[in-house]
Amino acid sequence: MKKLIIFIFTIVACTGSIDAQKWNLDNLMTFNWQIATPLSTNYLKETSLSGGNFEYRRFLNPKFSVGIGFSWNSFEQYIAPRVYEKPDGSQAIYTDFVHQVYTLPMYLNAHYYFGGGENMKPYAGLGLGAQYSEQSAYYNIFVSEEENWGFVARPEAGLLFKLNDYFGLHGAVGFNYATNKNDDFKIESLKHVYYNVGIFWNVY
């Protein structure tokens, strides 16, 4: 989280005089590879490279856009064999697991764009919506699985780098907080930091 704040601060601090008219943005679509690191859960902790993100943004003026978006992430971690014991000592079970969490946040977004020069446009934004998620624990040939929905909030900061008038590169970092809860797996909420690397194109 600290790194995220530093990143956002750096982007905002680096903004120069805006020259938004040169960008001539109207309808922007962005498609990204999404890397994500889960936070604050003992269920799994490994960074996932299996993810993606798509967003549509409509510019209301050169500095502000609203739109829709969705992401997907597939988290997975192998848990080595160990004994799980009931607190009173009456029962114990031994196995290994593959823990998996699949998330699919769908949200409305709003973004504010700072000045950044002729080819670069930094921005900060927020997405609010719903997140569908599946949590699975695989062991031997069995699986325990639960699916649920939650509210999702996604603050993010990013950068558009224009290659020509209708196409460019996109990068962003954000925080995905969702209220999906799973009592069996002791998951109170699903949180992850994500990193988007992708492309954008302007649709006239």
Partner 1 sequence: MKPKALLVIILFLAAISCRKTPDSEDLTLEQIVATDRDLEANFSNYSTYFIPDTVSIVASVSTDSILTGPLALQLVTAVKTNMNSRGYTFRPRSAGLPDLALRLTVIKDVTRTAVCGGWWDGWYGWYPPYWYGCYYCGGYYYPWCTTYTYTIGTSMLYMFDVKNLGTNLNLRALWGATMFGVFSTSNNQTNADLTANAINQAFSQSPYIKK
Q: How far is the CB of 19 from partner 1 (least distance, A)?
A: 27
Choosing from 15, 37, 50, 119, the residue that interacts with partner 1 (CB under 8 A) is 50
List the x/- string, 111-150, binding to partner 1 by CB under 8 A. Answer: -----------------------x-x-xxxxxxxx-----
Q: Which H or E element spans position 116?
A: none
Q: Which two tokens stand for residue 100?
A: 């998996």
Residue 15: CB atoms within 10 A of its CB come to 16
Place of tokens 């690397």: 197
Q: Based on the shown chain and the rule CB under 8 A, indicate whether residue 46 belongs to the binding site for partner 1.
A: no
Q: Which is nearer to partner 1, 67 or 168 (CB)?
A: 67
Whether 127 and 105 have beta carbons less than 8 Å apart is answered as yes
Residues 6+ apart with CB under 8 A from 110: 64, 65, 66, 67, 125, 126
Return the amino acid letter for 115: G
State the number of CA atoms in the 13 A half-sphere of 15 facing the CB.
Answer: 22
Query: Which range binds partner 1 by CB under 8 A, 7-15, 69-77, 113-121, 171-179?
Result: 69-77
Q: Is 94 in the site for partner 1 (CB under 8 A)?
A: yes
Sole binder of partner 1 in the list 4, 7, 37, 52 (CB under 8 A): 52
CA distances from 193 to 71, 164, 186 (A): 13, 30, 20
Q: Is 88 near partner 1 (CB under 8 A)?
A: yes
74 binds partner 1 (CB under 8 A): yes
In the complex, the smallest distance separating the C-beta of residue 90 from partner 1, rounded to whole angstroms, is 5
User: Where do contacts with partner 1 occur on this chain (CB under 8 A)?
Assistant: 27, 29, 31, 50, 52, 54, 56, 68, 70-72, 74, 76, 78, 81, 83, 85, 88-98, 100, 102, 104, 134, 136, 138-145, 203
